[in-house]
Chains A and B, each alone.
Chain A
Amino acid sequence: MKKTMLAAAAVLALATPAFAQDTVRIATEGAYAPWNFLNDAGEPAGFEIDLGNAICETAELSCEWIINDWDSIIPNLLAGNYDLIMAGMSITDERLETINFSDNYFPPDPSKFVAAAGAGLDFSALSGARVGVQGGTIQAGYAEENLGGANTIVTFSTADQAMADLAAGNLDTILADGAYLEPVVNASNGALEFVGEDVMIGGGVGAGVRKEDTELKATVDEALATLKADGTVDALIAQWFDGMGPFFSE
C-alpha cells in the first residue's frame, strides 16, 4: 500500500509541472505558407505567427508556438495540449460543433481551382478529373460533396504536396484557399492559372479555442479588435499576401 502511495506521489510530482498554465500555447501547422511555415532558421514564421505574437503582446500574454500536424490539430486542442489554433483554419458550422473560434482575422476567402495553363477543363460538367485537396479542409468537404461522384478526389496531408503533384502532372486541378494559391500562381510565370468559378465556403479565418475557454476567447477577441482598429492586422495581411486588403480598418 505504502509503495502504491509512493508511486502515485512520484507520478504526481512528475506530472505536476506540466499542469501549470502560465503560458498560452498556440498550435500551427508550419506547412501553409504564407500563413504559417518554418523559415530557414527552422522556426515558425508567417502571417499568423506575426499576428499571434502581436495578439500576445497586446493582451500581455506569454505565448509559445507548437507545431502540430493538420489532421490532429483539433483533437490535440481538445485534449489540452495547447490552447489556441492559428493555422489558417476557416470558421465553419461543422467545426463550431466541437470548438469555438475567435473573431476572424482574415475575411471570408474564396476557394479557387487552379490548373495547368491551357488544360481546357470543362467546369460546367467536370467529370473524370483528378482533383487535389488537402485532407480535413473545407475544400476537401466541398469537393467530396459536389465533385466526388464523377471525379476522383485525391487528398494530401499538406497543401504543398498537392501543388507538387499538380506540377508533376498527376492532377488535373486543385481546390484550395485563394490566399494560399494566389502567390503560387503569381510565381509560376503563367504556367498555372485559375480556372472555373470561385467557391465561397467558410466564414473567414479565426483562432480556434476550446468552448469552455470563454475567458481566453474574450482576451483574444479584445486584442484582435484593437489590432484591427489600429491597422496592424491589415498591415500584416498586406505584407504577407502581396498587398491584399485593407479589410478591417476604416
Chain B
Amino acid sequence: MTHFRTVKPLPVLQEMLQPRKSGMFEDLAFWLGYITNGKHLTWYASFQFTIYAALLGGALAVVFGLTGATLKNSRFFVLRLVGSTYSSIVRGVPDVLFFLFFPLAFEQGVEWLVSTQVCSPEAIAAQTAPWPPCREANWFLGTTEYLLLASVSLGLVYGAFATNVIHGAMRAVPAGQLEAARAYGMSTTQVLWRVHIRQMWVYALPGLSNVWMLIVKATSLLSLLQIADIVLWADRLGAPNFLPTVGLVHDDWRWRYYLVLFVFYILVTWLSERAFEYLMRRTGRGILSEVRT
C-alpha cells in the first residue's frame, strides 16, 4: 500500500526557508546571536544532565559490579545464585527497556507504598484514573528525581556487565600474590582489600572502560524519562519553524544539531580514553610489568 511518489518540491517555500543573505559581518553577528539565544543556552546547560547521569551511573555501575562480583565469589550458594542471576538476567535485558521499566516500576512501587498510608477509602472511590490509587498518592517526578532514577537504572544495567568484568579480573590476580599476602599474616579482609581488589583493577580496567563507553552512549536515552536533555533540545531546536513570530524561520534542521551531539560524544570518548590510560598507568604501578600497557 505504501508507495513513494515524489510530489514536486516547492521552490518558493524552500526559498522562504533560507535565511536572508546580507553582508558577511551581519551574517556572523546574526548567527552568533542566534546560537546564544535563550533557547540555545538552555540546550548548552542541558549537557550537565548527560554528564551527571554518566558520572553517577558509572560510579553506581562500579558499586553494583563490585557487589555482584563479591556475591558471585561468595562461599554461600544462595549469594552466588543472586550474583549470577543478576549478571546474567540484567545483561540480557535491552537497556532502553530497562530504562523505561525501572523508573516506572519504582515510581509506582513508591506510590503504592504511600497509598497504603495516605489514601482514605473515599479518596480511592473518587479516583477516576487507573493509577495511582488516590490523588494524594501521586508522586510528581521532576528532572532531579528522573535524573537520579536514570542514573540508578544505568548503574543497575551496566553494573551487571561490570560484575562479570570484575569477577573475571578477581580470578586473574595470580594466586601466588594472595598466598604471599596470607603468609605475611594478613587477615582475609586485609587480603581482599589490600591485595586482591588493589591488583584486580589492572585486569578490570580495559573491560570497565568498555562498560563506561556503553554508559556514555546510553545517556542519550535521558529524554525517554522526560528529562529535557541534549537530545530533546536538539530535536526542539532543529524542528522546522514556519512563523516569524516564533523565531527564525527555518526548515528541518535536526541533522545539524545531531551533528553537534556526534562531536560531543566523540570528544567524551577521546577524553575517556585519555583518562583510562592514566588510570591504567596508576593502578599498574609496582604490579607485574606484562599487564601494563
Q: Which residue of B lies closest to A19 (CB)?
A: B136
- Asked whether, in the complex, the Cβ of B7 is within 8 Å of the Cβ of A116, the reply is yes
In the complex, A161 has a CB within 8 A of chain B: yes
- Asked whether, in the complex, the Cβ of A212 is within 8 Å of the Cβ of B247, the reply is no
Cα distance A123–B243 when bound, in Å?
28
Within 8 Å by CB of A41, from B12, B38, B142, lies B38
- Asked whether, in the complex, the Cβ of A210 is within 8 Å of the Cβ of B242, the reply is no
In the complex, A11 has a CB within 8 A of chain B: yes
- Asked whether, in the complex, the Cβ of A34 is within 8 Å of the Cβ of B245, the reply is yes
Which of B8-33 touch A at CB < 8 Å?
8-14, 16-17
- Asked whether, in the complex, the Cβ of A187 is within 8 Å of the Cβ of B249, the reply is yes
Which of A27-51 touch B at CB < 8 Å?
30-31, 33-34, 37-43
- Asked whether, in the complex, the Cβ of B39 is within 8 Å of the Cβ of A40, the reply is yes
Residues of B within 8 A of A (CB-CB), count: 58
In the complex, B252 has a CB within 8 A of chain A: yes
Within 8 Å by CB of A161, from B14, B41, B118, B239, lies B239
- Asked whether, in the complex, the Cβ of A212 is within 8 Å of the Cβ of B128, the reply is yes
Q: Which residue of A lies closest to B117 (CB)?
A: A12
Cα distance A42–B232 when bound, in Å?
13
In the complex, A200 has a CB within 8 A of chain B: no
Q: Is the interface of B mostly helix, strand, loop or mixed?
A: loop
- Asked whether, in the complex, the Cβ of B242 is within 8 Å of the Cβ of A15, the reply is no
- Neighbouring B residues of A160 by C-beta, 8 Å: 239-242
Cα distance A170–B110 when bound, in Å?
46
In the complex, B5 has a CB within 8 A of chain A: yes
Cα distance A39–B118 when bound, in Å?
40
- Asked whether, in the complex, the Cβ of A184 is within 8 Å of the Cβ of B10, the reply is no
In the complex, A172 has a CB within 8 A of chain B: yes
Query: Which of the segments A54-62, A73-81, A218-226 contacts the partner chain?
Result: A73-81
Cα distance A116–B10 when bound, in Å?
7
Cα distance A167–B12 when bound, in Å?
10
Query: Which of the segments A104-112, A136-144, A189-197, A229-237 contacts the partner chain?
Result: A189-197
In the complex, A228 has a CB within 8 A of chain B: no
Within 8 Å by CB of B38, from A43, A170, A172, lies A43
Give chain B nearest CB distance to A85 CB in angstroms: 14
Cα distance A15–B142 when bound, in Å?
11
- Asked whether, in the complex, the Cβ of B247 is within 8 Å of the Cβ of A39, the reply is yes
In the complex, B139 has a CB within 8 A of chain A: yes
- Asked whether, in the complex, the Cβ of A164 is within 8 Å of the Cβ of B42, the reply is no
Cα distance A187–B241 when bound, in Å?
11
In the complex, B37 has a CB within 8 A of chain A: yes
In the complex, A126 has a CB within 8 A of chain B: no
- Asked whether, in the complex, the Cβ of B126 is within 8 Å of the Cβ of A212, the reply is yes
In the complex, A96 has a CB within 8 A of chain B: no
Which of A121-171 touch B at CB < 8 Å?
128, 130, 152, 158, 160-161, 163-164, 167-171
Cα distance A67–B129 when bound, in Å?
21
12 contacts between A and B (CB under 8 A): A11-B113, A18-B141, A33-B243, A38-B236, A40-B39, A167-B10, A169-B7, A170-B6, A187-B249, A188-B16, A191-B11, A210-B128
Q: Which 3 pairs, one residue from A and one from B, show the smallest C-beta to C-beta distance?
A: A41-B38, A80-B138, A78-B129
Binding site for B on A (CB under 8 A): 8, 11-12, 15, 18-19, 30-31, 33-34, 37-43, 67-68, 78-81, 116-117, 119, 128, 130, 152, 158, 160-161, 163-164, 167-172, 183-184, 187-192, 210-212, 240
